[in-house]
Amino acid sequence: MQEKVLKDTLISAKSGNRQAREELIRSHKQFIVKVSSKVCNRFLTWDNDDELSIALIAFNEAIDNFNPQEGSSFHSFVQMVIRRRLIDYFRKEGKHQHLSLSPMDPEGEEMSRYDLDVSQEQYQAKENIEVLAEVVENYVRMLGEYGVTLDDLVKVSPKHRDSRETLIRVTLSLSDNPSLMTHLKKLKLLPIKELGLLTGVKRKVLEKGRKYLIALALILSEPEFYPLRTFTKIPAQLRE
């Protein structure tokens, strides 16, 4: 399922569209089997394995709780929810042949739970790294559409605090103005004249900081780049 179609279908399903939810399930049945089989260390089938019923419930839960602004992809989030629900199921049912959740003695049991929690944290950390890598890759690709590279940003990023804060203020004004952002995204050009009138910053300063302004504006305006906002280091007083 293509990204835009997936996003639209998710929104419809979350708002109560039963047909959209059923379409998500239908298109992801093979994905659910793959994820669940990996957790259980054996191949599962819909007709024979209760684990897939648990995974299907988890998939529906993921649809209801997924928040794209938290930074993870839908598929990564689904994997995490399915894994958690299956582990809960194994604990409740005592199906220890699937995962090593029950050692021979009480002391070992505590260690097993600790190891499981650590493993889950490590798994989530790995997922977060993979998500961030994908976000950066998409960001670099979009920057290229504006004729900007990461090397450019290293060179043009303002070194002095006053210069940096001036450009940040301009970027905040830009990202908060729908018409100017439409101009930027449609023409792939910074609306320098309009920004000058809006902010009072000289044209020469805006032209010199053009690539920096574009790069920061994309991070602030595109939901998919939300995870990168922690790297912008925008002072709190400028956000107000």
Second CATH level (architecture) for the domain 3-102: Orthogonal Bundle (1.10)
Tokens of 111: 């260690």
- CA angle (171, 176, 181) in 5-degree steps: 75
**pLDDT(112) > 50:** no
The model's pLDDT over 217-238, given as tens digits with 9 standing for 90+, comes to 998 888 778 778 777 767 655 5
Burial of 78 (0-12, 13-18, 19+ CB in 10 A): buried
Please compute the mean of the pLDDT values over residues 144-166 and round it to a whole number.
Answer: 89
Confidence of residue 42 (pLDDT cuts 50, 70, 90): confident
User: For the whole model, what pTM was predicted?
Assistant: 0.49
Given this model, what pLDDT does residue 180 score? Answer: 94
What is the pLDDT, as a whole number, of residue 105? 39
Band the pLDDT of 14: cuts 50, 70, 90.
Answer: confident
CB neighbours of residue 30 within 10 Å = 9
Domain ranges for the chain: 3-102, 150-239
- Give per-residue pLDDT as tens, 177-209: 999 999 999 999 999 999 999 999 999 999 999
Q: Which two tokens stand for residue 113?
A: 């739970």
Has residue 214 got a pLDDT over 80?
yes
Other residues' Cβ atoms within 10 Å of the Cβ of residue 98:
16
Q: What is the DSSP code (8-state) at residue 47?
A: T
What's the mean pLDDT when you consider all of the chain? 81
- In this model, does residue 106 exceed pLDDT 80? no
Compute the average pLDDT of residues 60-68: 87
